[in-house]
Amino acid sequence: MSDEEFKKYKEVLNAVGSGDLPKFEQKEEIAFSDAAKGDTVIDDYGTYTIKKVTEPSNPTHETGSITFSLNKVLLATFKPNEESASFFDREELKLAVMLIESENNSEDTVSFHPFSTTVTTNTKGQYDAQTLLNKGESEHIGQVTQEFRTAFNLEDENLDEIKEMTFILDKPSKDSMSFGEEVKIDVTFD
């Protein structure tokens, strides 16, 4: 329990019986999909501070039987919380976070793997997805939709210097066989 939480807990316990329980301001949680520059997003692993945001002008793409939209890309710093700190080799990471929605247009079970995406930057960096911070299910059983959050550890990059990124997404697969085309998506930051 944090010091702030303990202080609130103590105030409530001290007020029990008086009938005058303290009121505390609730922090509004921000979702990644709603986050803007300067916002803070908190999840089970830690705190993201959003530094840059872009929404691609042409977000929709198709490969095989999968139609997907790259709705937003965020550049952020990430501080792991106490429980997850041991999973990371740094106290703070620099991340690119890709938000995707996908739909399978066939009745077949198809796998689409945004977590195996590679990203390159205008600063000559190349990065794979950060396994632990991803969210979503790559298997599409029939005509279903899925949402993905894929994070890339940008290591020692200066986020202010990143102006362009290219995401390279693998082909979907069915019965362990790839089909469709690899998709490259360029995004820019102001």
Residue 109 bridge partners (DSSP): 141
Q: Which residue has the tokens 């329980």?
A: 21
User: How much is the pLDDT for 4?
Assistant: 66
Average pLDDT, the chain: 91
Instruction: Indicate the residue type of 99.
Output: L
User: How much is the pLDDT for 7?
Assistant: 72
Distances (CA, A) of 109 to 62, 140, 182: 17, 6, 19
**What are the structural domains, with CATH classification, of the chain?**
28-188 (2.60.40.4170)
Three-class DSSP category at 177: strand
Distance CA 120, CA 127 (A): 6
Q: Is the pLDDT of residue 190 over 70?
A: yes
Distance CA 129, CA 123 (A): 18
Distances (CA, A) of 77 to 74, 151, 179: 10, 11, 35
Q: Confidence class of residue 181 from pLDDT cuts 50, 70 and 90?
A: very high
Distance CA 113, CA 50 (A): 25
Q: Is the pLDDT of residue 1 over 80?
A: no
Distance CA 95, CA 45 (A): 14
pTM for the full predicted model: 0.83
Q: Is the pLDDT of residue 145 over 60?
A: yes
User: How much is the pLDDT for 19?
Assistant: 65
What percentage of the chain exceeds 70 in pLDDT?
87
Looking at residues 131-144, what average pLDDT do you find? Answer: 93
Distance CA 82, CA 112 (A): 33
User: How much is the pLDDT for 171?
Assistant: 95
Q: Is the pLDDT of residue 13 over 70?
A: no
Looking at residues 158-164, what average pLDDT do you find? Answer: 97
What percentage of the chain exceeds 90 in pLDDT?
79
User: How much is the pLDDT for 29?
Assistant: 85
Looking at residues 29-49, what average pLDDT do you find? Answer: 95
Distance CA 119, CA 155 (A): 13
Distance CA 172, CA 146 (A): 14
